[in-house]
A and B are shown apart, each in its own frame.
Chain A
Amino acid sequence: MSEDDFGDLRRRDTERHLLAAVDESDNSKRTVMFLADFFSDSPNVFITLLSIIPEPSEDFFPTETERQAWLQEKESQMQKTLAGYKELLIGAGFQDGRIESRLSIRPCTSIGDAILEEQEKLRCCIVVVGRRGISHSEEFVFGSTSSKILHHAKHCAVMVVE
């Protein structure tokens, strides 16, 4: 599914559409396993697996070639991870047609905001994220994506998988 193709939103409004925001972390895998376990026998649940790759600043690489190489590798890794998550859901009983994967590579100051923008476009009724379990100090310096989504989500429910 391309970044600008949001599918049949009219049909989607009548479904239980979950947006699962994932990356390559263990807590994302746990999140997908939870969804597989909890919703696999619900025939009208539709899942979009979303991964956001923030475009890294040019400052982090000596040359643009190295930046592009990093992005290509990251995209390839994430495509494999998304395919793995999809297989996991199918293995649990989800139909192939009820799962979509979206990979968005974009300039991004907040992954939480980017996830909520996608939620708004796709009209998902639930946003599902994993929780990294970061320390107090880490949250102080880096912030927390799940906290951001919990505090800023509108017109949807939020599910945080521990």
Chain B
Amino acid sequence: MAHPAAPLQEAKIRALIAAHAGPDRVPVRFKIITDTSDFFRVEYNDVVVLGGVPYWVKRYEKEGRFGIDDEPKYWVRRAIDLTTGATKIIKLVFHEQFEATVGEVKITCFRSPKKEARVLDLVAGHKNFMHGHWVLDAAGNNVRILEFIRGPRFDDVVAGYGTDHHDYFHNYFPKVLDQYLDLLLAIQFLHDHGEKHGDIRRDHIIWDDETQANRWIDFDYNYEQSESVFGFDLQGLGNILIFLAGRGDVLVGDLYHDQRELFDTLWGEDLSIAYKNRVANLKKIYPYIPDSLNRVLLHFSFGANIFYETTGQMLDDLAKARADMVKLSGRRV
């Protein structure tokens, strides 16, 4: 962390903007902000000074969430570090508590800047997480300054693999599974240190074009747990695995309209426990899926009688699935 810095002179900041973007792009009027308590006050072209570094504020970030596409996140701004020219994501303090619903289950979630700052410190240098640091602004707000990751979402990459599921599963999925295992190990690393990701969704994994690795992003959520501390994280990991094994979500409605003979074989217990319109028992749809992999998927189905409590349990089962995938695809271990 760094302590709040003395305000930089406006003339110096104008010179830095001119050096970065050219003299014509220097705004006529802008604010120099050191207290970010009211994040709505931070506007396009303003400069936020954090830890002595001036950041030239650009657009809001957006996120699709709970059915609302492209919801603006007013507390998350793209910005230019005027001392290096690097693009950063600046996350201002926003405390939020809300209920997320997964299936029929309501989960109380909290957005916590402190938690994300703690995790950023923990995962510094870990290839499968976003990186950044945190700074207290002049009012003591914990502002996170994140490295900008260039690359597509992992799920978008996977959805483009192969000509059909058979081609995808035999020729691409073994590699995808290895990448998923890396991501699972990364979450195990968090859990081993007593931390949760808190919002495990497939759009929170970015394929970093530069490092050629998938990276988890957005870990400022925590949630109220009960007996199973990491249950919500594990549920998210299961949903992602079902998506990857199916080359997308296999939706009951689509089967009803397009493949009635498969639809007729399904029972309620074959569906995802979290999303009842998605099939978890994918072997019924794609019979070449190895039993060992399907057994892992069934842990996330409505028919499951036992659930994973730790990432270690899931990794143990996936080791067998990986070996079977290697045999199936003819790849060497």
| Bound complex: CA A111 to CA B225 (Å) | 10
Query: Given B115, B227, B231, B304, which contacts A59 in the complex, CB threshold below 8 Å?
Result: B115
Q: Which residues from chain B contact A112 at a C-beta distance below 8 Å?
A: 227
B227 A137 Cβ-Cβ under 8 A: no
Residue of chain B at shortest CB distance from A109 = B229
A145 B273 Cβ-Cβ under 8 A: no
Q: Interface SS of chain B: helix, strand, loop or mixed?
A: loop
With contact pairs A60-B222, A60-B224, A135-B104 given, residues A140 and B231 touching in the complex (Cβ less than 8 Å): yes
Chain B 172-203: CB-based contact to A (< 8 A → 1; otherwise 0): 00000000000000000000001000000000
B226 A142 Cβ-Cβ under 8 A: yes
- Judge whether A58 is part of the interface by a CB distance below 8 angstroms: yes
B224 A137 Cβ-Cβ under 8 A: no
| Bound complex: CA A60 to CA B221 (Å) | 10
- Judge whether A97 is part of the interface by a CB distance below 8 angstroms: no
Q: Which residues from chain A contact B222 at a C-beta distance below 8 Å?
A: 57, 59-60
How distant is B156 from chain A, measured CB to nearest CB, in Å? 27
| Bound complex: CA A102 to CA B103 (Å) | 37
A136 B115 Cβ-Cβ under 8 A: no
Query: Given A57, A62, A137, A144, which contacts B103 in the complex, CB threshold below 8 Å?
Result: A137
A140 B227 Cβ-Cβ under 8 A: no
| Bound complex: CA A126 to CA B114 (Å) | 41
| Bound complex: CA A142 to CA B115 (Å) | 21
Q: Which of B42-50, B59-67, B105-113, B290-298 contacts A (4 or more CB under 8 A)?
A: B105-113
| Bound complex: CA A112 to CA B309 (Å) | 13
With contact pairs A137-B273, A143-B231 given, residues A111 and B104 touching in the complex (Cβ less than 8 Å): no
| Bound complex: CA A110 to CA B97 (Å) | 23
Query: Given B114, B224, B274, B309, which contacts A58 in the complex, CB threshold below 8 Å?
Result: B114
Q: Which residues from chain A contact B232 at a C-beta distance below 8 Å?
A: 141
Q: Which residues from chain B contact A58 at a C-beta distance below 8 Å?
A: 112, 114
A137 B226 Cβ-Cβ under 8 A: no
- Judge whether A139 is part of the interface by a CB distance below 8 angstroms: yes
- Judge whether A138 is part of the interface by a CB distance below 8 angstroms: yes
B110 A60 Cβ-Cβ under 8 A: yes
Interface centre among B103, B228, B231, B232 (most CB of A within 10 A): B228
B273 A136 Cβ-Cβ under 8 A: yes
How distant is A148 from chain B, measured CB to nearest CB, in Å? 5
How distant is A145 from chain B, measured CB to nearest CB, in Å? 5
How distant is A111 from chain B, measured CB to nearest CB, in Å? 6
Name the interface residues of A62-105: CB closer than 8 Å to any CB of B: 62
How distant is B36 from chain A, measured CB to nearest CB, in Å? 15
With contact pairs A59-B115, A60-B222, A112-B227 given, residues A140 and B110 touching in the complex (Cβ less than 8 Å): no
| Bound complex: CA A109 to CA B112 (Å) | 19
How distant is B102 from chain A, measured CB to nearest CB, in Å? 6
B302 A145 Cβ-Cβ under 8 A: no
With contact pairs A57-B222, A136-B273, A137-B273 given, residues A142 and B227 touching in the complex (Cβ less than 8 Å): yes
Chain A 107-120: CB-based contact to B (< 8 A → 1; otherwise 0): 00111100000000
Q: Which residues from chain B contact A147 at a C-beta distance below 8 Å?
A: 227
With contact pairs A59-B222, A60-B110, A141-B232 given, residues A111 and B227 touching in the complex (Cβ less than 8 Å): yes
A-B contact pairs, 28 of them (CB 8 A): A57-B115, A57-B222, A58-B114, A59-B112, A59-B114, A59-B115, A59-B222, A60-B112, A60-B224, A110-B227, A111-B227, A112-B227, A136-B302, A137-B104, A137-B105, A140-B105, A140-B235, A140-B274, A140-B304, A140-B307, A141-B105, A141-B107, A141-B228, A142-B225, A142-B226, A143-B225, A143-B228, A143-B231
7 smallest CB-CB distances across A and B, nearest first, come from A143-B228, A143-B227, A59-B112, A142-B226, A59-B115, A59-B222, A109-B229
Q: What is B's interface to A at a CB cutoff of 8 Å?
A: 95, 97, 102-105, 107, 110, 112, 114-115, 194, 222, 224-229, 231-232, 235, 273-274, 302, 304, 307, 309
